[in-house]
Structures are given as C-alpha cells and as structure tokens.
C-alpha cells in the first residue's frame, strides 16, 4: 500500500507536532515489543515532555503503534481500529515482525506484514527495538508532517 | 443583572466567562500535569501543552459512531460547556460588580453546576458504546453520592449569614463581617466538605470513577474525537478553575486580592496531591464515603450553623 499523505500547515501542524497521542495495538506480537512500548512511556523516558500520551481508544489517537505480524485473527481487528481512528492518524510499525514478519515469515497464520494491510509511515526495526529507537521513530513520524 | 446593560453582559460572557476562564483553566490543567510529573520524578510537559492538545483536537476529524443518537451525541459536549461558561460569567460578575448579582444566583449556579455531569451521562448513553454506557451509569451514581453533601455545605453558608442567597450579597456580608471561613466551626466544616467533594465534581482521581482509563478506556469520552472531545477537555479545564473560585467566593471574601491567587493555588495543589497519592475508589466505596462520613459532616455543619456556631 502507498504512503499516507498527511500534509498539515500552520497552527494545525504545530498542535499535531506538540501533542501526539499514541494508541498501542498488538496484532499478534510475541509481547516483547509491547513491553518495550510500555517501557518508553515510563517516567524514566518521560514522553509527556513532548506531549506524548498513551490513550486507550483509537478515537483519541494520532499515532497508531502497531506491533506484531498480522495474524489471520488480528486482520479484521487491525482494519477496524484503523478505520475507527480519527484522521489524520499516522501508523508506526514497531519491531521486525511488524516491518517484515521477522522470524514468523511464511507461517500458516501470517497475513502481514502491516504495510500490506494499512499504510505505514515509519518502520522501526529491532527484535524488539529499544525504547530509544521507538521514541526516535515517533519523532521521525512527526517530522514527516 | 442587566444593571450595566445587555452589552456589558455579553462582554462579560465573552471576555470573563469564556476567554479568561479558558486560559486560566488550561493553565491550571498544566499546573496539574506539571506537579504530577514532578511528584513522579519526571520533567513534565511545557506550559503550552494543554493549548497544543486543544488546538490539535480542533484540527482533527470528529466522528459520529454508527448507531449513536446523533443529536444527543453532538449536543452533550456543548451542554456542559455552556453551563460552565454561564457559571463563570455569574461568578465573575458577582465579584467585579457585587451590585449586578441577582437574588438567587447562588441557586442558579448550583443548578448549572449539575450540567457538566449530566452532559457526561448523556454523552455516555448516546454514544452506543458499552464503556460509555458503564461510565454514564457510574457518573450517575457518583452524582447521587456527592451532590447532597455539597448542597448542604453550600447552604450552611446561607444559614450562617442569615438567608442571603445572592453571591453579591454574600460578598457584601463578608466585606462587613470578614471571610465566611472565619465565622465559626460550621463554616470550617462546610469548607472541608466542599474540599472533599471537589475532586468528585471535577472527575479527577480518586473519584475519576466514570472515566477510569484502566477499566473503562475513557468512559463517556470513549467515542468522542476531534472538536467534540476538545469541547469536553475545555469544559473540564474551565471547571477546574471556576469551581474553586466559586468556593472561594462563598468562603473567602473576594476574588480580587493577591491572597486569593494564593488560596486558589493552595486548593489546586491540595487537589493535585490528593490525586497523586490516592488510588481510585470503587463506586460503592465512593457512595459509602459520601453518604456516611461526608454527608454526616455536612449535616453537622448545617446544624451547628442553625444553633449559631
Ligand atoms: S519483533 Fe521480535 S520482539 Fe517484537 S514481536 Fe516480533 S518476535 Fe517479538
């Protein structure tokens, strides 16, 4: 799928850059990437400095953090969540699985990677990526605005 | 109320009721987030963070979920918002021109302060989301819990000052007799009760039972996005400013001294500290807390006021 085109300007762009709320979605990861995301929002890294908040519903999300190969079961859920998110909404694929299916490539249950299903803005490789890598990926996503 | 002309009234709505209160409320929200961050040993967001949040939400898509009741879903945020604007207008007018306040505006303010909670209930029920519906029912329970105690606490002031039910009148009484808070044991008790009820009225921890993000995602806010969510955020922020100022008007003379800013800051920090050192109450625990000790306390206050203490 092609890339998203989020072109914002002026004050809208400023608001979006200063207050990206992230929603975390696992589409069949081994749970390791998810733990690293949770690490990234702990006081040690203090993402609230940049206005990043973890929200509980895709309706409030500006950035979807997707982890995991998309499994057969997760496919409709991923589509559903992506459609529910209020646009403009960026997608960040986190971990080798989400980027390229990683070690699960060719599995009977694998539909992914994520960019086969929904447009992805930033890929963060690693198995799992470090919290620093996740933060830098989100910053790159914002730089694309 | 229109002693200064209808133009002045609209000027008050737009300038004091809306613009000033929005800015002050968003800054208070920032103080809340910053102090919480410092308590958790973090740096915390920059001062413009709440403004950036609202601006961003204004620029986003507002979705009406399929199957939701469109009219109530869209009206709910504005219901609470208008109510808070009116409350802050009335409170500001009473503070700046005590003569402009009308008999019974205390009661109007109390009724208008119900509306943000009712707006949440409408929002949760209209959004056709199980989390929203659960949040709405919890909000309803919570309202039943704290409103009685809060009402008795406010009426302690009325009993104490001999039946004055206009804010301007109460301010005038305090100008002659000194701050209400210093009038005796009953008023101190009433003030403590309002302090206990304030987190529940504002919907922040330990009484954020309705939007408990760990259990209910975002409660009644779950389906809201974009502009409608921004209006809810603004309502909450304005309430965080208006409600303590209303209480200070009742208990501590007037709004326009440097002391009052200190008072307001103290109340804000008290709320933030309570928020940061307490876990969330279960709804039945909150009901028990408000119906037994707190309501008992506020009844004691009104009885003491009636016998003149
Ligand atoms: S990338 Fe590695 S750590 Fe992340 S979900 Fe896949 S296998 Fe697990």
Q: What burial class does residue B72 get, using C-beta atoms within 10 Å of its C-beta: 0-12 exposed, 13-18 middle, 19+ buried?
A: middle
For A53-92, the pLDDT digits (tens) are 888 888 888 888 999 888 898 889 999 899 888 878 888 8
Question: Given this model, what pLDDT does residue B1 score?
Answer: 44
- Amino acid B6: pLDDT: 60
Mutate to test the pocket of ligand 1, among A32, A70, A104 (most ligand atoms within 8 A of CB): A32
Q: Is the dihedral of CA B157, B160, B165, B170 positive or negative?
A: negative
Confidence of residue A5 (pLDDT cuts 50, 70, 90): low
- Residue B75 burial by CB count (10 A; 0-12/13-18/19+): exposed, middle or buried? middle
Residue B83: closest CA among B45, B60, B110, B64: B110
Whose CA is closest to A87, among B148, B287, B56, B2?
B56
CB of A96 within 6 A of ligand 1: the answer is yes
Strand A63-67 to A122-124 pairing: unpaired
CA distance B76 to B87: 17
Strand order in the sheet with A122-124: A53-54, A21-26, A63-67, A90-94, A122-124
| Residue B246 near residue B240 (C-beta atoms within 8 A) | no
Residues 183-222 (B) with a CB less than 8 A from some CB of A: 213, 217-218, 221-222
Helix residue spans in A25-121 (DSSP H): 32-40, 74-84, 95-100
Percent of chain A residues topping a pLDDT of 90: 0
The predicted structure's pLDDT at residue B189: 87
Interface test with B, best of A44, A60, A89 (most B CBs within 10 A): A60
pTM score: 0.86
Q: Quote the minimal CA–CA distance from A18 to chain B in Å.
A: 6
Supply the Cα-derived Rg of chain A in whole angstroms. 14
Q: Determine the 3-state secondary structure of A63 from DSSP.
A: strand
Interface predicted TM-score (ipTM) of this complex, two decimals: 0.83
Which pLDDT value is given to residue B182? 76
Per DSSP, helices labelled H in B161-225 are 167-177, 185-202, 213-216
Q: Which domains are delineated in chain A? A: 25-143 (3.40.50.12280)
pLDDT at B263: 81
Q: Is B224 left (phi over 0), alpha (psi -120 to 50) or beta?
A: beta
- β-pairing verdict for A53-54 and A122-124: unpaired
Residues (pLDDT < 70) of chain B are 1-7, 254-257
Centre of ligand 1 to C-alpha A111, Å, is 16
pLDDT at A2: 43
- How far apart, in whole angstroms, are the C-alpha atoms of residue A96 and residue A99? 5
Query: CA B115, B215, A131 angle in degrees (round to 5)?
Result: 115
């Amino acid at each position: 799928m092609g890339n998203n085109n989020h072109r914002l300007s002026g004050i809208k762009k400023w608001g979006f850059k200063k207050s990206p709320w992230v929603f975390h979605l696992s589409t069949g990861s081994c749970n390791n990437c998810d733990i690293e995301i949770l690490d990234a929002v702990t006081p040690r890294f203090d993402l609230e400095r940049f206005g990043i908040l973890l929200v509980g519903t895709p309706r409030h999300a500006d950035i979807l953090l997707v982890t995991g190969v998309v499994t057969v079961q997760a496919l409709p859920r991923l589509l559903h969540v992506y459609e529910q998110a209020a646009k403009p909404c960026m997608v960040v694929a986190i971990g080798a699985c989400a980027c390229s299916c990683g070690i699960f490539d060719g599995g009977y249950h694998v539909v992914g990677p994520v960019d086969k299903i929904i447009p992805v803005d930033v890929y963060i490789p690693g198995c799992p990526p470090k919290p620093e890598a996740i933060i830098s990926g989100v910053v790159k996503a914002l730089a694309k605005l | 109320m229109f002693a200064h002309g209808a133009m002045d009234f609209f000027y008050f709505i737009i300038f004091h009721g809306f613009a000033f209160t929005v800015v002050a409320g968003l800054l208070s929200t920032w103080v809340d987030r910053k102090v919480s961050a410092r308590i958790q040993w973090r740096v915390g967001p920059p001062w413009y963070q709440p403004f950036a949040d609202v601006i961003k939400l204004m620029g986003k898509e507002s979705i009406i979920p399929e199957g939701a009741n469109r009219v109530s879903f869209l009206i709910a945020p504005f219901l609470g918002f208008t109510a808070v604007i009116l409350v802050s207008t009335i409170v500001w007018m009473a503070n700046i021109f005590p003569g402009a306040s009308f008999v019974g505006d205390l009661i109007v303010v109390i009724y208008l302060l119900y509306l943000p909670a009712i707006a949440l209930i409408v929002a949760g029920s209209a959004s056709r989301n199980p989390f929203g519906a659960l949040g709405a029912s919890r909000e309803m329970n919570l309202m039943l819990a704290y409103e009685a105690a809060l009402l008795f606490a406010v009426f302690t002031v009325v009993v104490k000052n001999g039946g004055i039910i206009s804010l301007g009148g109460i301010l005038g009484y305090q100008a002659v007799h000194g701050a209400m808070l210093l009038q005796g044991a009953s008023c101190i008790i009433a003030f403590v009760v309002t302090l206990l009820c304030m987190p529940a009225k504002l919907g922040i921890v330990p009484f954020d039972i309705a939007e408990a993000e760990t259990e209910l995602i975002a409660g009644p806010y779950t389906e809201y996005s974009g502009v409608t969510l921004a209006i809810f955020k603004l309502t909450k922020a304005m309430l965080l400013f208006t409600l303590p100022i209303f209480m200070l008007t009742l208990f501590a003379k007037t709004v326009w001294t440097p002391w009052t800013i200190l008072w307001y800051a103290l109340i804000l920090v008290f709320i933030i500290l309570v928020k940061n050192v307490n876990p969330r109450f279960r709804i039945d625990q909150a009901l028990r807390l408000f119906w037994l000790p707190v309501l008992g306390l506020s009844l004691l206050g009104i009885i003491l006021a009636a016998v003149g203490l």
